Amino acid sequence: MKIIHTIREIREYVREQRTLGKTVGLVPTMGSLHDGHLSLARQAKAECDVAVMSIFVNPLQFGPSEDYDRYPRNLEGDARLAETAGVDAIFAPPVHEMYPQPQMTFVDVEGLTENLCGASRPGHFRGVATVVTKLFNIVQPDKAFFGQKDAQQVRVIEQMVQDLNIPVQIVPCPIVREADGLAMSSRNVYLSPEERRQALAIYRALQAAEAMFGAGERSADAIREQVRSIIEAEPLAEVDYIKIVDLQTLSDTSLIDRDCLLAVAVRFGGTRLIDNVILRP
């Protein structure tokens, strides 16, 4: 497995693979890899000849009071894990390689970014869309693989690719969970043992929502209140949002009569966790 730090080198590597007739899959990450990331890498390797993983903690998507400086970074450990999942090359550029001068051009996806995480993290999706566009331009993959845990991100990138005619297929991949149901996240390491225990309320609440939906409940308000009651029973839980939105438009809905996303964001101490389920009538 190769570890590449410059745009010139990763472009040269991909060009070499293409001359051999190989397809390329890209797994964009910010590192601090866990089994969720590795599942994306395995999927990329299953569907493409060459799996490239980017590891880049993107400053553009962090707000001024967020955890950019303390976001976990461990390239050596990440590289070992990536290799076990079949990754052929890691693109791990320094910040000055991706942003050699102050960025003056940005990608905004309107309409899909104002709700959910976009409401509480202004500018976040502009940073995401901009860096993903740059990665697509640099690597020019055939397919790119994203985890469904960041469901809003997946939808934003799908729309961006469609609107800008970027020739890459977006492949959403299922949420990967710990044995007790907590969605895998690089930020889980921030949780204290008690916060970690109480955070399991998120998964219990989503399961309860699925059970209500399966029993025929179609009122978004009724399902949201059930989710809220379960999560807020934990004293350390601070709800950012509990939303049920149209899966395509990400706009709020009161009646679940089409494919919808139930998405939550909850803080435990200083750690913000997100999770979701798709409700399909």
Active-site positions read: 37
Q: What is the dihedral of CA 191, 149, 263, 118, to 10 degrees?
A: 90
Query: Which residue, among 228, 200, 197, has the nearest Cα to 212 in the 3D structure?
Result: 228
> Do 230 and 215 contact (CB within 8 A), yes or no?
no
Other beta carbons within 10 Å of 45: 18
Q: How far apart are CA 226 and CA 205, in angstroms?
A: 7
